[in-house]
Structure 1
Amino acid sequence: MNDAPLPPDELGHRLTEVFDLVGPLYRRALRKVEQGEAVEGASVGVRSVLDLLRRKGDMTVPQMARVMALSRQFVQRMVNDAAERGWVEGVPNPAHQRSSLIRLTEEGQRLVTLVLGREHMLNRQVGGDLTEAEVEACVRVLREMLKTFDHVDVED
């Protein structure tokens, strides 16, 4: 393996291989999370909202939509579902009176911890004797790929 940066044409071909793997991986992971919905009751979308709030703290729906690259309408539906189940609550937003902050409730924190624990057990089964450097390289590549699409409008 060469440590020199790839020329653009070769990089483009190699990153197509990454996209070809990421799509099926994402869809299969979603299916697995959906299988857990029968146990925990949280859809994939709600699970994503709960985890984002766990990681980032209280946020508005527009803030969550930007971070998740999803439409505000979709995120609002997920927040509404989570609120109906008592997993999140709206709290006053000192910075913007019309856009409440969404906060995890204790029940929401408990649920997302349970879901993430189950997902962690699955991720522990990944083989290949992966090293920290390999995982870090993978994360770096995916972040760079994501930056390429920062300008894409998700509201369509």
Structure 2
Amino acid sequence: MVKKPHPVAVTFASGLLTVPLLVGCSPAVDEDHYAVAVGSDQDFAGLELRSVFVVTAAEGKPGRLLGTIFNTTGKDVGLVIADTDEEVSVSIPAGGRVEFDSSPTLLKSTEARPGARTDLTLRARGDTVTVDVATAPWISMRRMCPGERPSEQQKLGRPWPVSAGAF
């Protein structure tokens, strides 16, 4: 007569065999380190650009830069931001930062329509880099657009129009 193994022993043994297989199925927490953000990131000349993008109402209309620039150096850094037809200058204090949402920096016109991408040329401390940035199309960002007034919907905290006829 063959003796059958106890059901608890079978369950325990199968669990021990399954655990090593499952351990490799999930990524380590530290592997998922990319932040989800609209804008572009770039490090150069001791500056760290984080989530930089342009908000505009339409192609050819004024645009506003958003995002943050950190200065990792011990000296103030002058940064020139240029598109195809103009330049704007920004001074970033030593060890400090400039947050464009609280320090409006405007371009007189944007070459890309909202939702497209455009190039900005950045110059600082003798270095030049070109950064491909998003041009924000979201109605919820329109309050940041130069010359745009918030609609009644936006004033009420509703970023999207209530009906299709509101477009």
TM-score (norm. length: structure 2): 0.21
| Structure with more of its chain in strand, by fraction | 2
| Structure with more of its chain in helix, by fraction | 1
Which structure would you say has the larger Rg?
Answer: 2
TM-score (norm. length: structure 1): 0.22
